[in-house]
């Protein structure tokens, strides 16, 4: 009896060991994956806790410093740039009158928001008077003016990294604060050619390489919807200026989301064009590689969707690749949407208010046109941040410490960091941190670098294949609404929602879709195949029609 029992016990023990061994062997790979998943789960929970704690912490620092915005009293400021141009041409308004309205608005909001950092009001006034004289002379018929000078007499702003002859050209770099541009960037020259008038420059992040606009030359810009929040970067001053109606339209640049993030955080429209369709000439810093030049795009930031197309037409010189004169039938567009990148580590989850937008848009399209949207799940979106960093690597281009000296040597980031602690550095914390992490991740040409570029190329083909010539992809512009000042330091990689589109070399429009539960702007981006910008712009117009577009921060009619 006893021997039988001990035999059974022995067999059970053996069985148990066998099963354990089997699981061990069978699962050595699975176990590793399981362990990885487990660690990712833990790190996600920790990141979530840090994020919540820091949000609370930053709300204590900045949340009580909210100041209220002066309401928009002058209703002219609510008009689109195209409408203002038309009213100037047909003499319902004078260019000088429009200019005065904008100058007054800048003077009213700038002490609070710090978005316009340089101006040329006197020269602009002379140009406005000249425009009025030309119109009043009647020497050029109105239809000809509409065709050849579609923005005659309309005041606009651009960011302090796009050169405007006679104005500071610092890119937020203290050592460039005395540099005055000697010529206009090509896009500025093209806009001047069609009669638009530069009134000033708007704030940027240091060297345009961060998504909050603050630097040691001009200081920090504040969000018109809540001054304790960021305006985004690097065209943050421009996004803010458009949202508070401080100029008729603006021009930004975007290599990782610098047009679309500020447009998004400030509730206005912003378009990053298909690569190489708008000249990049006249910016500082210049793209370090041919590849970076393909990611960079200059484009419009504006309050009204109807301005996007005519502005793109001017700055691209009606580039035939864009076929901007072809009309677009919304009913013939295939709509895809993806709600998130699939849950990247160290990137905030997409807020429920933003996810809800896809449901609202789908309902709207179905109700208005019977269009059925399709939800997609492009798996490699999860690699957005690593793909962006890999694609931005350059084999020999200037390093960040070199760029911070205006290419005249190299800063010592450790020494500067020490100075920064005592408020003695000429650099922002994030610029110094970027110097320290620049060499991190993969190395140019190593196995990981090549893997990420291959993945990016495969993803690009997958997206192009999905969209074809008649499709658009709706995707969050950013996972959350505007964080508090400095809060992006806790979630630096959130920019990858826009950065992905740059390395895929596709066009995208940031479309405002109202305010979230905190009263902050939210929206989505509309992505299309290279050259199909007109689809993005048509969808932007449709969504503005359906959902109202820009919501003025305060209006006092």
Ligand X SMILES: CCCCCCCC/C=C\CCCCCCCC(N)=O
List residues binding ligand X (CB under 6 A): 208-211, 233-234, 254-258, 433-434, 437, 489, 492, 495
CB of 282 to ligand X, least distance (A): 15
Give SS3 for 51: helix
Name the phi and psi angles at 302, rounded to 5: -160, 165
Here the tokens at position 530 are: 């290279």
Closest-approach residue to ligand X (CB): 258
CB of 184 to ligand X, least distance (A): 20
Residue whose C-alpha is closest to residue 359's, from 377, 373, 348, 349: 373
Q: What is the distance between the alpha carbons of residues 114 and 292, in angstroms, rounded to a whole number?
A: 30
Residue whose C-alpha is closest to residue 285's, from 444, 171, 434, 371: 171
CB of 127 to ligand X, least distance (A): 29
The DSSP symbol for 116 reads E
| CA 411, chain centre distance (Å) | 28
Beta carbons within 10 angstroms of residue 430's beta carbon: 22
Query: CB burial class (10 A; 0-12, 13-18, 19+) of residue 216?
Result: middle
434 vs 525 by CB, closer to ligand X: 434
CA distances from 103 to 119, 125, 134, 424 (A): 9, 10, 22, 34
CB of 465 to ligand X, least distance (A): 26
50 vs 433 by CB, closer to ligand X: 433
CB of 187 to ligand X, least distance (A): 16
Count, in order, helices (H) and strands (E) of the chain.
19, 13
- Examine residue 234 and say whether the peptide bond preceding it is cis (omega within 30 degrees of 0): yes
Give SS3 for 230: coil
Catalytic residues: 159, 234, 258
Give SS3 for 525: strand
CB of 54 to ligand X, least distance (A): 11
255 vs 537 by CB, closer to ligand X: 255
258 vs 340 by CB, closer to ligand X: 258
């Amino acid at each position: 009896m006893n021997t039988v029992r001990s035999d059974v016990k022995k067999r059970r023990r053996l069985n148990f060991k066998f099963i354990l061994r089997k699981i061990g062997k069978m699962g050595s790979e699975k176990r590793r994956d399981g362990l990885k998943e487990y660690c990712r789960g833990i790190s996600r929970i920790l990141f979530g806790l840090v994020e919540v704690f820091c949000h609370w912490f930053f709300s204590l620092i900045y949340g009580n410093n909210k100041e209220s915005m002066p309401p928009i009293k002058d209703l002219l400021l609510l008009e689109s740039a195209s409408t203002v141009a038309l009213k100037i041409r047909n003499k319902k308004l004078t260019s000088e009158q429009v200019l005065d309205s904008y100058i007054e608005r800048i003077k009213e909001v700038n002490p609070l928001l710090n978005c316009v950092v340089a101006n040329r009001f006197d020269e602009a006034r002379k140009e406005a008077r000249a425009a009025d004289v030309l119109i009043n002379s009647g020497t050029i018929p109105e239809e000809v003016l509409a065709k050849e000078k579609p923005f005659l007499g309309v005041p606009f702003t651009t960011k302090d990294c796009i050169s405007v002859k006679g104005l500071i050209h610092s890119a937020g770099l203290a050592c460039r604060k005395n540099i005055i541009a000697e010529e206009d960037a090509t896009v500025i020259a093209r806009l001047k050619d069609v009669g638009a008038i530069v009134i000033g420059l708007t704030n940027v992040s240091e060297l345009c390489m961060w998504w909050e606009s603050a630097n040691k030359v001009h200081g920090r810009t504040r969000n018109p919807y809540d001054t304790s929040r960021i305006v985004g970067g690097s065209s943050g001053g421009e996004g803010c200026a458009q949202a508070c109606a401080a100029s008729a339209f603006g021009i930004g640049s975007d290599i990782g989301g610098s047009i679309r993030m500020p447009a998004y955080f400030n509730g206005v429209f912003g378009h990053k064009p298909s690569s190489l369709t708008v000249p990049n000439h006249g910016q500082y810093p210049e793209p370090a590689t041919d590849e970076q030049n393909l990611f960079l795009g200059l484009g419009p930031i504006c309050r009204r969707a109807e301005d996007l197309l005519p502005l793109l037409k001017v700055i691209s010189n009606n580039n035939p690749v864009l076929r901007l004169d072809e009309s677009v039938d919304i009913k013939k567009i295939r709509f895809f949407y993806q709600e998130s990148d699939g849950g990247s580590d160290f990137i905030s989850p997409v807020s429920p208010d933003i996810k809800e937008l896809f449901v609202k848009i789908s309902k709207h399209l179905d109700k208005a046109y019977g269009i059925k949207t399709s939800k997609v799940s492009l798996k490699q979106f999860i690699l957005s941040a690593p793909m962006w960093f890999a694609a931005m690597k350059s084999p020999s281009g200037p390093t960040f410490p070199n760029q911070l000296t205006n290419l005249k040597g190299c800063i010592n980031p450790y020494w500067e960091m020490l100075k920064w602690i005592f408020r003695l550095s000429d650099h922002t914390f994030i610029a110094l941190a970027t110097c320290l992490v620049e060499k991190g991740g993969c190395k140019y040409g190593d196995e990981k670098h090549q893997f990420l570029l291959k993945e990016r190329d495969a993803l690009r083909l997958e997206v192009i294949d999905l969209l074809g010539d008649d499709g658009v992809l709706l995707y969050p512009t950013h996972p959350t609404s505007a964080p508090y000042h400095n809060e992006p330091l806790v979630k630096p990689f959130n920019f990858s929602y826009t950065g992905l589109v740059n390395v895929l070399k596709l066009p995208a429009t940031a479309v405002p879709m109202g305010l979230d539960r905190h009263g902050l702007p939210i929206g989505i981006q509309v992505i299309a195949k290279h050259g199909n910008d007109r689809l993005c712009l048509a969808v932007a117009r449709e969504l503005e029609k359906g959902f109202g577009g820009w919501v003025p921060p305060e209006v006092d009619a």
